[in-house]
Structure 1
Amino acid sequence: MTRADLETSAAASIDGLPPDNLGIFPDTSLLESVKPAPGGRFPWASLLIMALMGFLLIASETMPAGLLPQIAAGLSVNEATAGQFVSAYALGTIVAAMPAIAMTRGMRRKPVFIVGILGFLAANLVTAFSADIVLSLGARVLAGAFSGLLWGMLAGYARRITAPEHAGRALAVASLGTPVGLAAGTPFGSWLGTTFDWRWSFGVLSILTVLTVLLTLFLVPDAPGQRAGTRVPLVRVLGIPGVAVVLAVIVSWMLGHNILYTYIGSYLRTANRPVTVDIALVIFGAAAIGGIVITGAVIDKGLRRLILLSLGSFIAASVIFVAGNASVVAVVGAIVLWGLAFGGAAAQLQTAISAASGENADVANSMLGVAFNLAIFAAGVAGAVVISNFDGLILPSVMAALAGVALAIAVAGRRTAFPR
């Protein structure tokens, strides 16, 4: 065997394939394509484009909540029906995320990412121009489905184009769109729809989505999909040690968070503090951005400590909400602490579930997205029951109890889900 033959054989073994199988790949530069961040550079541009996409997904999901009267008037329906714009989006994500990821996980990442963005764009354009409530709700379900695909693949894609030692930092940057979307995207979309017309909100989102597609085409590198030999069926992914533990933490943690976040107005009215819901959410969003900056700086050095600190901060913020409800300073301080703790949660949990699931990170992250949306849906129902029977001051106590459950699960999961 010649030296060239030996080199070919060694190169093929890198991907776990026999030498004669290299010819099945249409791209003969496969081995180069799997190298993250050429030259060891951190792929800031690519990850910020992913963050922009996350911003658009979050803004599109939550924006209708601030435009229900305008949407209802524009489509000649009542506000309860218009409220299904949010529910339909969540339903699309819950139903489609895992099947969509399972079907596409073997495909190269960039084409799938672009198709997902284009599908999301088409759904928002239909929503912007539709005059029929049934068509509009169908478009929202479709937007949620493509959102589930994009959320499910973002974490794995970000990790594939980044050096392993910076994987957590990469997820923190790619997740930046979530707190920014909550802090700026949703309020801006609501203002735009209120000032002009609610359709303008979806129109501006569509323009930004076109920009994202173009940036992706020119600046985001491609990456291979998951190799066939490592693909585990959906049910078996749930059985991978650590995955179910992370999902349990997500459901408990995000259920507690969303019960207070969704009904924060009820708490503020009961506490009778001169802090409006808009101001509270802006403060929360700004603090959340700070939280993800902190997460990005330390996540690759101490994920477990970061998770435990975030959950502990949730509990501390809840205690301040209850004990200091008579003080504006205390309430604002609790909002800041709450936002700081929440800001990095998505990156922390995505990093944990990606590490636990290994090659099956895309499927595991689609489960993470479903868990998030189930928590959002359940929080709406549970929070309504709570405030129907008690006053708003009890909401932080509920958040503290659920965060405590999540903390106990995280502590117990030190071997598989959140190792030292």
Structure 2
Amino acid sequence: MTTTQPVTDTRNPSRQGGLPMAALLALATAVFVTSLTETLPAGVLPAMSADLAVSESAMGQSVTVYAVGTALTALPLTAATAGWRRRGLLLTAMAGFAAANTVTAVSTDYALTMTARALAGVAAGLAWALLAGYASRMVTPELRGRAIAVVMTGIPLALSLGVPAGTFLGRVAGWSAAFLAMTVLAVLVIAWIAAAVPDFPGEPQRAGKVTGALAVPGVRPVLAVTLVFVLAHTVLYAYVAAYLAHLGLGDRTDGVLLVFGAASLLGIWAVGAHVHRALRRLTVASTLLVALGAGLLAAASGSTLAVYTAAALWGLGWGGVPTLLQTAAGRAGGQRADSAQAMLVTLWNVAMAGGGVLGGVLLDRLGAEALPWSVLALLAPALAVVLAARTHGFPHGSGPAVRERAAG
């Protein structure tokens, strides 16, 4: 996840007109790389576990250790690098992804693989602390929501195209080839960022003030929903290949992920178009859609149609969640929006790590059938918090106070 730095910079020419699409698409591709690096093991989990001679639940911790690396570094790296030039820092992070994916691809040792995954998570801690901030600083305040939505399309694209493609490539050429392809893509993104993305100065005066946003009304409900919602999603997504194998549909993993990701694209489109005036309704709808998808998946009993329908509902609900939660954190945080989003990054990745651990425990102790039911159990309190936070956090409409906080 990302932090925003809503700082007016009138020296940036792109702020005088519409959306600077070349730069925003470069950042969206960087988001694609970070998201795919994080989630690719979900599509090739059985092959990775077989080659590295560990159980699927142990291999699933490759998602966990990535998230731990990000969670442990997002806040301290945000503070330590606050004064650094933004483009050079982002290029450094992308170089970290290239190196980590290369090591993952060539490693034949579980411990080395997990170390590389942790280092990739550290690179993500850097990248996620920059990406939405870039989008905010390149446009005028009224375009920030749309700019962030463009950048965040990298997430559903990673799910709809990247993971299925990586799963297919892993099946026909080996999972190592999928990670090597990620290295090539990271190098290409480095060149694109260097050519198309403007540079910005850092903000050393903001360092060391990250946790102050907790005192701002609305920030804590947003962070609580982030923690529980992402935990629920990750418990199932990290082990989706294992769950589909349990249903006898292991050979349909890439197809199911394709449907999930395609629906996610539709979800993020709907959210990007309406988030500025319907944040609360969209958050409630997303929660219910993910819950409905999980419930249908739990009752699928090997029905291919039911599984694909469940994946579509799940993806439709999940696709816009990053934009929804980032927008909610930015609005609630007001003048401390960057700090609120830095904490959101940390909790997002704590939830990713926790989801990998919890999913592995459920898989080992209760079996794969417990995974979708755990999603329902976790989403219930998340929905309750969203419904309760009607004044701050997830307020009705987009009145003047909301718009003022969004621009703050």
Match of 2:63 among 81, 86, 95: 86
Counterpart Cα distance in 2 of 1:89 and 1:389:
23
Instruction: Identify the residue that residue 108 of structure 1 maps to in structure 2.
Output: 85
Instruction: Identify the residue that residue 159 of structure 1 maps to in structure 2.
Output: 136
> Structure 1 residues 67 and 257, CA, compared in 2 at 3 Å: closer, same or farther?
closer
In terms of mean alpha carbon deviation, does 327-336 or 271-280 score higher? 271-280
Preserved CA contact (<8 Å) 1:72 1:78: yes
Instruction: Identify the residue that residue 156 of structure 2 maps to in structure 1.
Output: 179
Instruction: Identify the residue that residue 311 of structure 2 maps to in structure 1.
Output: 335
> Structure 1 residues 414 and 280, CA, compared in 2 at 3 Å: closer, same or farther?
same
> Structure 1 residues 275 and 288, CA, compared in 2 at 3 Å: closer, same or farther?
farther
Match of 1:311 among 283, 287, 301: 287
Instruction: Identify the residue that residue 330 of structure 2 maps to in structure 1.
Output: 354
Shift of residue 311, structure 1, vs aligned partner: 1.4
Tell me the TM-score normalized by structure 2: 0.83
Secondary structure at the counterpart of residue 300 of structure 1: helix
Higher relative contact order by CA 8 Å / sep ≥ 6: 1 or 2? 2
Match of 2:100 among 123, 134, 138: 123
Preserved CA contact (<8 Å) 2:74 2:342: yes
Answering whether residue 354 of structure 2 is matched by residue 368 of structure 1, we say no
Higher alpha-carbon Rg: 1
Instruction: Identify the residue that residue 98 of structure 1 maps to in structure 2.
Output: 75
Matches within 5 A, 1:238-253: 238-253=214-229
Q: Which amino acid aligns with 1:183?
A: S
Instruction: Identify the residue that residue 126 of structure 2 maps to in structure 1.
Output: 149
Secondary structure at the counterpart of residue 31 of structure 2: helix
Q: Percent identity?
A: 38
Instruction: Identify the residue that residue 7 of structure 1 maps to in structure 2.
Output: none
Counterpart Cα distance in 1 of 2:49 and 2:278:
48
In terms of mean alpha carbon deviation, does 267-276 or 102-111 score higher? 267-276
Counterpart Cα distance in 1 of 2:363 and 2:109:
34
Q: Which amino acid aligns with 2:356?
A: G
Structure 2 residue runs without a partner (length 5+): 1-6, 397-408
Preserved CA contact (<8 Å) 2:238 2:356: yes
Match of 1:46 among 10, 14, 23: 23
Tell me the TM-score normalized by structure 1: 0.81
Counterpart Cα distance in 1 of 2:49 and 2:296:
38
- Number of aligned residue pairs: give it: 389
Preserved CA contact (<8 Å) 2:65 2:353: no
> Structure 1 residues 333 and 40, CA, compared in 2 at 3 Å: closer, same or farther?
same
Answering whether residue 217 of structure 2 is matched by residue 217 of structure 1, we say no
Counterpart Cα distance in 2 of 1:77 and 1:269:
19
Shift of residue 200, structure 1, vs aligned partner: 2.8
Shift of residue 204, structure 1, vs aligned partner: 1.9
Matches within 5 A, 1:318-329: 318-321=294-297, 328-329=304-305
How much is the aligned-residue C-alpha RMSD, in angstroms? 3.1
Counterpart Cα distance in 2 of 1:357 and 1:171:
16
Secondary structure at the counterpart of residue 144 of structure 2: helix
